[in-house]
Amino acid sequence: MRIIAGKARGLKLITPRDLQIRPTSDRVKESVFNIIQSNVYDSIIVDLFAGTGNLGIEALSRNAKKVYFIDGSKDSVDIIKENLAKTNFISQAEVISGDVVAGIHKLAEKNVQADIIFMDPPYNKGLALVALEHIASKKLLNSSGIIVVEHDKMENMPEEMDIIIRFRRKDYGNTSVSFYKQKEEIK
């Protein structure tokens, strides 16, 4: 797993020794960033179920302003911090250890308005739906922001939820990525 573009291009990230964390593949990551690249520069990003920090660190390498990483696993939090140190992006990041829903509420209390929210939860556990509900209710996404959800191809992701609507879906083998925006932003 490596950084594909930007300031830290080519740098290999630390990955877990076991299969508890399932990092986004370079192929999927490159495709996602090709789709959202115009939204990354100077953006505020939230990386939910952050795992290794792969997506958020790629965004920092591509000149995102700040990334909030949230993960409930102590091992993941340690790996994210190691990867931030390795890439010299510590000053542009905040790592929140704990439940993703609690993390969303914490960011809402700080009035964080995300330009991009990455979400790569464990597959087929309904966690993406729960997170989407809380993102919508806490208004964590700014009016022109994008939510990028990686999920199992067979997982039934909603076309819309509250103020959020899916505008694109891409399949990569058994993995799919759904892209959401606020309804009023879809033209």
Considering the domain boundaries, does residue 108 fall inside one? yes
Tell me: pLDDT of 118 over 70.
yes
pLDDT at residue 72, as a whole number? 93
**Integer CA distances (angstroms), 46 to 4, 10, 98, 173, 175, in order:** 19, 23, 14, 26, 21
Considering the domain boundaries, does residue 7 fall inside one? no
Considering the domain boundaries, does residue 120 fall inside one? yes
Residues in the chain: 187
Q: Which two tokens stand for residue 5?
A: 């573009």
Per-residue pLDDT, averaged over 96-117, amounts to: 96
pLDDT at residue 181, as a whole number? 95
Considering the domain boundaries, does residue 119 fall inside one? yes
Distance CA(59)–CA(42), nearest Å, equals 10
Per-residue pLDDT, averaged over 71-94, amounts to: 95
Considering the domain boundaries, does residue 5 fall inside one? no
Distance CA(81)–CA(165), nearest Å, equals 33
Considering the domain boundaries, does residue 31 fall inside one? yes
Helix axes 54-61, 74-87, angle to 10 degrees: 20
Nearest to 13 by CA among 76, 99, 93: 76
- Give the H/E segment covering residue 35: helix 26-40
**Integer CA distances (angstroms), 79 to 18, 62, 120, 134, 168, in order:** 12, 20, 16, 26, 31
Residue 23: DSSP 8-state: P
CB atoms within 10 A of CB 127: 18
Tell me: pLDDT of 148 over 90.
yes
Distance CA(152)–CA(69), nearest Å, equals 22
Domain of residue 54, residue span: 26-185
**Radius of gyration of the chain from its Cα atoms, rounded to whole angstroms:** 15
Considering the domain boundaries, does residue 135 fall inside one? yes
Looking up residue 168, the CATH number of its domain turns out to be: 3.40.50.150
**Higher per-residue confidence, 14 vs 24:** 14
Per-residue pLDDT, averaged over 42-52, amounts to: 96
pLDDT at residue 186, as a whole number? 53
Query: How many domains, in total, are found in the chain?
Result: 1
Tell me: pLDDT of 20 over 70.
no
